[in-house]
Amino acid sequence: MTIWIAIGVTAVGCYVVKLTGLLVPAGVLERPLVRRLAALLPVALLAALTAQQTFADGRLLVVDAKAAGLAAAAVALLLRAPFLLVVGAAVVVTAGVRAMTG
Amino acid sequence: MGVGIAVGLSGFAFGVTSAGGGLTVAQTCALSLLVFTGASQFALVGALASGGNPLTAAAGAFFLGVRNAFYGLRLSQLLALPRAVRPFAAQWVIDETTAVALAQPTRRSVRIGFTVTGLSLYTLWNLTTLLGAVGADAIGDTDAWGLDAAGPAVFLALLAPMLKTTMERAVAVAAVVLGLGLLSVLPAGVPVLVAALAAPAALYVEGRRRPGSGGRPGTGHGAPGEGR
């Protein structure tokens, strides 16, 4: 039962924050500074999230096979590989490194 | 569409992880249907699986979801949706739809990009979650298949086209340093929000250097690590 409560709280909370962003009046966003900020925020958030999902295990920093996978994805991006190949490279290299290192 | 298939992989991984963490198939699917923001979902099942308090787990997932408010801020400007449509569009305001919409040149293509990405991801994410949850026993350990690397790789691929100027790269580097540096001292989800401060901090530093600026994006200067 408590798991359902956690699911409910998360679902409502996440929906409300999504809606909040969309409902901010357009006038607020016309100021150049606000506009530039709104453009830069996704960059900061995505970068932090990528790093955390790669190097964080709970509250600990770890460098494991995922780091190698992400490096492979970065190389694929530099080579202008298509999206699927980028993600595929990350998955395959991560699995490969884990298989080799046991 | 490439983004859809890649996200489908992570949806599958989510289903397996969630079922492996002790959630039922119904609970796992409810998360994908109702929460629909992958990082928060992974955070929630991870915290629940490790025996965390359900409300603390929900709080962590919520904080990770707060970034979607910033995406909405940017999207409301680009999409210019009628007020009545916004409550329906809101559920699709996530990393992937934002990144695709931001990459479009015209309002029409922004709207099409947002809708197509939203619809295809919502469908796929939920289908693959179901598949993963049902097939969890057959698969065993998703980590052995490297599926946990799909999520960050998707984010990296979405981020890469945004890093055009020095300013954007500086913000990204500062955000990574903040996000990882604060990981051990702040509760789950909060470091990502603090990392978002790299954006206003970079604008502030730029404003101090060239008073009166604030014009065209893409002319910024900044040094890595200037977020603090």
Residue B206 — left, alpha, or beta (φ > 0 → left; ψ -120 to 50 → alpha)? alpha
Coil, helix or strand at residue A56:
strand
Domain ranges of chain A: 1-26, 27-101
pLDDT in tens, A11-67: 999 999 999 989 887 677 778 888 788 888 888 988 998 898 899 887 889 899 999
Q: Is pLDDT above 80 for A91?
A: yes
Number of CB atoms found within 10 A of residue B106's CB: 8
A43 reaches B (C-beta below 8 A) = yes
Q: Residue B227: what pLDDT?
A: 36
3-state DSSP assignment of residue B185: coil
| A64 SS3 class | coil
Nearest CA-CA distance, residue B97 and chain A, Å: 12
Which pLDDT band, with edges at 50, 70 and 90, does B211 fall under? low
Q: Residue B7 — φ and ψ, nearest 5°?
A: -70, -30
Do residues B176 and B160 make contact, with C-beta atoms less than 8 angstroms apart?
A: no
Q: Which residue has the higher pLDDT, A11 or A87?
A: A11
ipTM: 0.86
Q: Which of residues B2 and B88 earns the better pLDDT score?
A: B88
Determine contact: A79 vs chain B, CB below 8 A.
Answer: no
Give me the total of CB pairs closer than 8 Å, taking one residue from chain A and one from chain B.
301
Q: What confidence category does residue B226 fall into, taking pLDDT thresholds of 50, 70 and 90? A: very low
Partner A contacted by B57 (CB < 8 A): yes
Question: Which residue, among B184, B156, B186, B188, has the nearest Cα to B172 in the 3D structure?
Answer: B156
Mean pLDDT of chain B: 84
d(CA B11, CA B37): 10
How far is the alpha carbon of B200 from chain A, nearest alpha carbon, in Å? 6
Nearest chain B residue to A81, by CA: B157
* Closest listed residue to residue B32, CA positions, set B138, B128, B99: B128
Residue B13 phi/psi, 5° resolution? -60, -40
Q: Which position has the higher pLDDT, A11 or B60?
A: A11
**Which residue bears the tokens 């919409």?**
B101
DSSP-assigned letter for residue B143: G
β-bridge partners, A57: A60
CB B172 within 8 A of CB A86: no
Of B64, B147, B51, B215, the C-alpha closest to A35 is B215
Is pLDDT at B52 greater than 80 in this prediction? no
Concatenate the DSSP letters of all residues of B50-106 into one string: TT--HHHHHHHHHHHHTHHHHHHHHHHHHH---TTTHHHHGGG-SHHHHHHHHT-SS
CA distances for A45 relative to B11, B179, B196, angstroms = 21, 9, 6
- pLDDT at residue B220 above 50? no
pLDDT band per the 50, 70, 90 thresholds, residue B214 = very low
Determine, for residues B145 and A58 on separate chains, whether the beta-carbon distance falls below 8 Å: no
Stated as kind and residue range, the H or E segment containing B107 is helix B107-139
The per-residue pLDDT for range B131-165, each reduced to its tens digit, is 999 988 777 677 778 878 887 888 898 889 889 89
Percent of chain B with pLDDT over 70: 89
SS3 B151: helix
Chain A positions touching B37 (Cβ under 8 A) are 14, 18
Beta bridge partners of A61: A56
Mean pLDDT on B187-203: 87
pLDDT in tens, B66-112: 889 989 988 988 898 898 999 999 999 998 899 999 989 999 999 99
Contacts of residue B163 in chain A, CB cutoff 8 Å? 43
